[in-house]
């Protein structure tokens, strides 16, 4: 795996100069490689991982996983329906799945009501959607490799030989 | 109570006061820690918890569980091509610390001399003394990367010299030895009829070349007590578990002492160690990659801010010279701590020849390393012009 990517995936704030020091690659070459990764769309964007479990901003809203069964369209497969669904800003993730249903859609809303409305008014009536099953998320423990807890203090003594 | 003369005569650590200072201070960025900042990988911890739930709470065989010794044997064979019989040539110990103690007890008679490279990890000398031996420091030179040389060994040998202790990759210098360098040492070891006690606890953290275990050198298996463990590579310091490998007569002798003093290593640690060897390789590789990046970063920054530092080949230590500041190691460390709240270990903690150097551990997260370097740079500006 590209080492520059590996470093940025751990901490997107790492500067090209720092990456250069860590890897022994020249700073100019690091900058060039990052530019290329951005241009090719390998690096889509840089953002902070916010722990909404403790941010308490607007009580952080509710999230639901929705299983969606759809009738694939001739020549278009699932792509077309998926696109119609994921364009909604309420949809934070959308996956095509194997198994008992077709799309797994993650929806975020202010309240249970907003999410229910979205399912009832937007998702279910959609042409080719055959059925939905909505699961509300009660608590997130870990997301994309990050444990959603306050960082713990190191338990090591400050100095040892 | 009257304390034995032997123990009384062991000098107290000269930097205890400095240590107390560090431990008593808040918000210190510590580059003074001699253990990984990673927590033991979860699969290993989970296995230990499960073993307790299953009721594995008994003593084990004195030598350690045979399953574990078989895993150790397999691991050494696969990784380094070493050949040790799990039945008779491997002993599971309470870390390399106990392994070292047992090794010295098993081979040293009163007055026997034990050569120890300096700068050195702090335990070797005192343990040799406690075992009735006489530690002989062999000074190493910064221009040789603080490595022991065949000439240095010959110069320090006399008729009473029994053994030599080698530790590579090295704590505190981070240096290691290439196969060629080791062959030259092996030749002298054979010529002077010495026993090699080789502490290779950091072997899995070797960055620039393949680590060569001392017993794999021609003719050296019969002369070497090989010490290794789980602390550094698997981030298992608190589990206190390691192992010793050697010819069966010496392992039998060490086992004799171990069975009377320690009985056996805690079974929970042994269960964890089995899991580490079976399924820990990926975690080790990941941690190693991370350490390597930190090494590049720290060495490059240290040299930039004016602390001349060779590139260490292994472990997680840098050992830069602070001579330019005109301060002693202890003064440098104390002032850096008070002025900038960064803790490093004075080189003199590792013997007189560590004067003029400090040990910097990069077993700390990047954010802290970056900040520590900024603080050190600011500190140095008032001393280096």
| Chain A contact for B20 (CB, 8 A cutoff) | no
Contacts of B157 (CB under 8 A, 6+ apart): B115, B192, B194
Spell out which residues of chain B touch residue A159, defining contact as CB-CB under 8 Å: 19, 22-23, 30, 32-33, 343, 345
Using CB atoms, which residue from B30, B34, B300 is nearest to A161? B34
**Residue B345, SS3?**
strand
| The two domains B5-40+282-380 and B42-280 share their CATH topology (first three levels equal) | no
Give the C-alpha separation, A87 to A34, whole Å. Answer: 28
Residues of B in contact with A16 (CB under 8 A): none
What per-residue confidence (pLDDT) applies to A57?
A: 63
Residues contacting residue B317 through CB under 8 Å, at least 6 positions apart = B170, B171, B172, B173, B174, B359, B360, B361, B362
A24 and B296 within 8 Å at the Cβ level: the answer is yes
Tell me which residue has tokens 């026993």: B195
A158 contacts B22? CB cut-off 8 A: yes
Give chain A positions within 8 Å (CB) of B122.
161
**A73 Rama class: left (phi>0) / alpha (psi -120 to 50) / beta:** beta
At residue B146, what are phi and psi to the nearest 5 degrees?
55, 35
User: Which helix (H) or strand (E) is B45 found in, with range?
Assistant: helix B42-53
Domain ranges of chain B: 5-40+282-380, 42-280
HSE (CB half, 13 Å, CA atoms) of B343? 24
Cα-based angle A6, A10, A12 (whole degrees, multiple of 5): 95
Higher pLDDT, A53 or B21: B21
Contacts of A8 in chain B (CB under 8 A): none
A13-17, A156-160, B124-128, B171-175: which range is least confident on average?
Answer: A156-160
* B42-280 belongs to CATH 3.40.640.10: yes
The partner residue sitting opposite B23, judged by closest CB among A18, A24, A159, is A159
For B19: left if phi > 0, alpha if psi spans -120 to 50, otherwise beta; the answer is alpha
A21: nearest CA in chain B? B297
CB-based burial, B312-346: b 16+ in 10 Å, e otherwise: bbbbbbbbbbbbebebbbbebbbebbeebbbbbbb
Contact B106, B251 (CB under 8 A): no
Q: Determine contact, residues B99/B93, Cβ cutoff 8 Å.
A: yes
| A160·B23 Cβ contact <8 A | no
Picking from A10, A7, A60, A53, the residue whose alpha carbon sits closest to that of residue A30 is A7
Residue A68: pLDDT over 90: yes
Confidence of residue A53 (pLDDT cuts 50, 70, 90): confident
Q: Quote the CA–CA distance of B367 and B344 in Å, as a whole number.
A: 17
Report the gap between the CA of B297 and the closest CA in chain A (Å): 5
A157·B33 Cβ contact <8 A? yes
Contacts of residue B286, defined as CB under 8 A and 6 or more positions apart, other chains included, come to none
Along chain B (385 residues), what's the average pLDDT of each consecutive run of 10 residues? 92 83 92 94 97 98 98 98 98 98 97 96 95 95 93 96 98 97 98 98 97 98 98 97 98 98 98 97 94 97 94 97 95 96 96 95 96 97 79
Mutate to test the interface with A, among B18, B201, B235, B297 (most CBs of A within 10 A): B297
Contacts of A6 in chain B (CB under 8 A): 289
CB pairs under 8 A between A and B: 50
Sheet of B358-361: strand order equals: B317-318, B358-361, B345-346
> So what's the pLDDT on residue A58?
59
Q: Is the pLDDT of residue A1 over 60?
A: no
d(CA A86, CA B26): 49
The verdict on a CB contact (< 8 Å) between A22 and B28 is: no
Cα separation values, B156 from B123, B148, B160, B227, Å: 20, 11, 11, 23
B16 touches chain A (CB under 8 A): no
Confidence bin at A28 (pLDDT 50/70/90): very high
**B125 DSSP assignment:** H
Query: How many Å apart are CA A105 and CA B359, to the nearest integer?
Result: 53
Interface probe for A, chosen from B21, B23, B27, B33 (most Cβ of A below 10 Å), is B33
Query: CB-based burial of residue B7 (10 Å sphere; 0-12 exposed, 13-18 middle, 19+ buried)?
Result: exposed
pLDDT in the model for residue A56 = 65
Contact yes or no for B30 and A159 at CB 8 A: yes
Q: Which of B328, B322, B349, B340 is nearest to B142 (CA)?
A: B322
- Contact flag B33-A160 (C-beta cutoff 8 Å): yes
Contact yes or no for A159 and B366 at CB 8 A:
no
Nearest to A158 among B33, B297, B349 (CB): B33
Among A4-8, A47-51, A111-115, B256-260, the minimum mean pLDDT is found in A47-51
Check B28 against A158: CB less than 8 A apart.
yes
Task: Report DSSP state, residue A157.
Answer: -
Residue whose C-alpha is closest to residue B364's, from A156, A4, A145, A80: A156
The token pair at B258 is 């171990």
CATH number of the domain located at residue range(s) B5-40+282-380 in this protein: 3.90.1150.10
The stretches of A12-158 forming alpha helices (DSSP H) are: 16-23, 27-39, 52-55, 79-86, 112-117
Question: Comparing A56-60, A124-128, B253-257, which segment has the lowest mean pLDDT?
Answer: A56-60
Gap from B343 CA to chain A (nearest CA, Å):
8
């Amino acid at each position: 795996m590209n080492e520059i990517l590996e470093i940025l995936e751990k901490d997107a704030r790492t500067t090209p100069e720092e990456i250069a020091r860590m890897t022994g690659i020249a700073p100019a070459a690091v900058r060039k490689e990052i530019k290329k990764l951005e241009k090719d769309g390998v690096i889509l964007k840089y953002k902070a991982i916010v722990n909404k479990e403790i941010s308490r901003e607007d009580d952080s809203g509710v999230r639901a996983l929705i299983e969606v069964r759809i009738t694939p369209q001739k020549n278009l497969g699932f792509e077309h329906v998926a696109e119609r669904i994921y364009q909604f800003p309420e949809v934070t993730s959308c996956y095509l799945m194997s198994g008992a249903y077709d799309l797994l859609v993650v929806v975020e809303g202010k309240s249970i009501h907003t999410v229910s409305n979205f399912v009832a008014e937007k998702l279910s009536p959609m042409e080719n959607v055959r059925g939905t099953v909505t699961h509300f998320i009660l608590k997130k423990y870990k997301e994309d490799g990050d444990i959603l807890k306050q960082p713990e203090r190191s338990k090591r003594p400050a100095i040892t030989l | 109570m009257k304390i034995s003369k032997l123990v009384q005569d062991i000098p107290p650590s000269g930097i205890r006061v400095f240590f107390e200072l560090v431990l008593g201070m808040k918000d210190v960025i510590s580059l003074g820690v001699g253990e990984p900042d990673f927590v033991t990988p979860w699969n290993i911890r989970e296995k230990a918890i499960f073993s307790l739930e299953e009721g594995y709470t008994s003593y084990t065989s004195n030598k350690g569980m045979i399953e574990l010794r078989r895993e150790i044997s397999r691991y050494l064979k696969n990784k380094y091509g070493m050949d040790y019989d799990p039945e008779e040539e491997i002993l599971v110990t309470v870390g390399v610390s106990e392994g070292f103690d047992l090794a010295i007890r098993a081979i040293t008679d009163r007055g026997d001399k034990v050569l120890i490279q300096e700068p050195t990890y702090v335990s070797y000398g005192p343990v040799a003394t406690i075992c009735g031996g006489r530690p002989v420091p062999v000074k190493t030179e910064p221009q040789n990367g603080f490595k022991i040389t065949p000439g240095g060994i010959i110069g320090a040998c006399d008729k009473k010299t029994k053994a030599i202790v080698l530790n590579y990759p090295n704590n505190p210098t981070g240096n290691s030895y290439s196969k060629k360098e080791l062959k030259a040492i092996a030749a002298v070891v054979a010529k002077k009829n010495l026993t090699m006690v080789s502490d290779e606890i950091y072997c899995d953290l070797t960055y620039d070349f393949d680590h060569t275990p001392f017993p794999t050198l021609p003719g050296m298996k019969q002369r070497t007590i090989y010490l290794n463990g789980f602390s550094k590579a698997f981030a298992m310091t608190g589990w206190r578990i390691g192992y010793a490998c050697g010819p069966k007569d010496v392992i039998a002798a060490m086992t004799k002492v171990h069975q009377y003093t320690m009985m056996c290593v805690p079974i929970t640690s042994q269960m964890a160690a089995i899991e580490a060897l079976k399924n820990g390789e990926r975690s080790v590789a990941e941690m190693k990659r991370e350490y390597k990046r930190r090494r590049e970063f720290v060495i490059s920054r240290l040299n930039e801010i004016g602390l001349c530092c060779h590139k260490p080949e292994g472990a997680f230590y840098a050992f830069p010279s602070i001579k330019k500041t005109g301060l002693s190691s202890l003064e440098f460390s104390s002032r850096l701590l008070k002025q900038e709240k960064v803790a490093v270990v004075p080189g003199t903690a590792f013997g007189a020849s560590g004067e003029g150097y400090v040990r910097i551990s990069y077993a700390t997260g990047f954010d802290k390393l970056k900040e520590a370097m900024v603080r050190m740079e600011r500190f140095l500006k008032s001393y280096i012009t």
